[in-house]
């Protein structure tokens, strides 16, 4: 990997799974890293491991199901640094297995939509001024090959719920957001891309779904780090990758009307006026 000395990176969901490995490898390459998750003990452990390896990191706890905590997280990041070169929106929850029941956050929003998509939308929006001021800077949204069309008539999935559907809808929402934001960031020096890291990596999410892993965490981390740091992607934005290969996402992601609808809905749900751009 490139030497990242002097760079500042923020990886959500880096107390576990692929995010943890990405944070460690960014720190090993010289970046100062913000580690994030809900579990403070695990957060401190990841920071200690990075420091023992000669890197620099700090931990910030926040539950992304709560928009207030998402905003506070962004403020904490802004207070701790003068620059932000890389934001990786990686935190997420899986399908919850075949018997998963519909869950909501305190605001009544369907939980996977709120955590996997809306939190990243709000966080990115709050951090955009610093990313722009640090340009060239990159945003990487960790999505999935599991994608399902957003049903704008019932985004909160009050009918016909399944955990798989909720997960896949939230993952496609991240891709629509990526493509929409890439257009809005043209000329700013901030790029935004998204990816399916690898299929069924050996992580907590996959174990909890009762699936036997197919891929290693290393494979997924390599794919994320490719979008995050590869010189070959300098200036390239609005892309979807399947692992290390540029690929096509679900057709809805290429529909400008659907993207505009999602943007308007997200602004409304987050109580925002006209961000992010």
Ligand X SMILES: NC(=O)c1ccc[n+]([C@@H]2O[C@H](COP(=O)([O-])OP(=O)(O)OC[C@H]3O[C@@H](n4cnc5c(N)ncnc54)[C@H](OP(=O)(O)O)[C@@H]3O)[C@@H](O)[C@H]2O)c1
Q: Which residues are catalytic?
A: 167
Whether the CB-CB separation of 139 and 174 falls below 8 Å is answered with: no
Pattern 143-172, ligand X, x by CB under 6 A: -x----------------------------
Question: Bridge-partner residues for 110, per DSSP?
Answer: 104
- Among 22, 115, 173, 223, which residue sits at the site for ligand X (rule: CB under 6 A)? 115
Q: Which CB sits closer to ligand X, 106 or 133?
A: 106
Per CB under 6 A, 55 contacts ligand X: no
Using the rule CB under 6 A, is 206 a contact of ligand X?
Answer: yes
Smallest distance from ligand X to CB 113, Å: 12
**Do the strands 86-89 and 137-142 form a parallel or antiparallel pair, or are they unpaired?**
parallel
Binding footprint of ligand X, residue count (CB under 6 A): 30
**Given 4, 8, 17, 181, the residue binding ligand X (CB under 6 A):** 17
- CA–CA gap between residue 221 and residue 240 (Å, rounded): 16
Q: Does the footprint of ligand X cover residue 269 (CB under 6 A)?
A: no
Distances (CA, A) of 243 to 12, 144, 173, 208, 229: 19, 10, 19, 22, 14
Residue 229 · residue 193 · CB < 8 Å: no
Q: Which of 7, 58, 112, 196 binds ligand X (CB under 6 A)?
A: 196
Kindly tell me which residue out of 7, 9, 16, 57 binds ligand X, with binding defined by CB under 6 A: 16
Taking the C-alpha atoms of residue 71 and residue 188, their distance in angstroms, rounded to an integer, is: 23
Is the backbone of residue 30 left (phi > 0), alpha (psi -120 to 50) or beta? left
- Taking CB atoms, the residue at the shortest distance from ligand X is 17
Cα 60 to Cα 74: distance, rounded to the nearest angstrom = 10
Q: Contact letters (x/-) for ligand X, 78-97, by CB under 6 A? A: ------------xxxx----
* Positions that interact with ligand X (CB under 6 A): 13-19, 37-39, 42, 63-65, 90-93, 115, 142, 144, 196-197, 199-201, 203-206
């Amino acid at each position: 990997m490139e030497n990242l000395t002097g760079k500042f990176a923020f990886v959500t969901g880096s107390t576990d799974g692929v995010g943890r490995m990405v944070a460690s490898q960014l720190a090993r390459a010289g970046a100062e890293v913000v580690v994030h998750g809900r579990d403070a003990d695990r957060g401190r452990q990841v920071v200690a491991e990075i420091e023992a390896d000669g890197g620099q990191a700090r931990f910030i706890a926040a539950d992304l199901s709560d928009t207030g905590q998402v905003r506070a997280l962004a403020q904490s990041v802004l207070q701790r640094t003068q620059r932000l070169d890389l934001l990786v929106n990686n935190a997420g929850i899986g399908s919850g297995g075949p018997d998963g029941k519909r869950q909501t956050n305190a605001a009544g929003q369907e939980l996977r939509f709120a955590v996997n998509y809306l939190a990243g939308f709000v966080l990115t929006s709050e951090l955009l001024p610093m990313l722009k001021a640090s340009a060239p800077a990159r945003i990487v949204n960790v999505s999935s090959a599991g994608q399902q069309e957003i049903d704008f008539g019932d985004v909160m999935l009050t009918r016909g719920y399944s955990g798989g559907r909720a997960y896949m809808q939230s993952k496609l929402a991240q891709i629509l957001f990526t493509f929409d934001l890439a257009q809005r960031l043209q000329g700013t020096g901030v790029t935004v891309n998204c990816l399916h890291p690898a299929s069924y990596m050996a992580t907590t999410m996959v174990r909890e779904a009762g699936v036997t892993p197919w891929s290693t965490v290393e494979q997924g981390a390599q794919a994320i780090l490719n979008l995050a740091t590869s010189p070959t992607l300098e200036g390239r934005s609005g892309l979807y990758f399947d692992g290390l290969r540029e690929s096509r996402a679900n057709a809805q992601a290429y529909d400008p009307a659907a993207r505009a609808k999602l943007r308007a809905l997200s602004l409304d749900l987050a109580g925002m006026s006209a961000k992010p751009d």
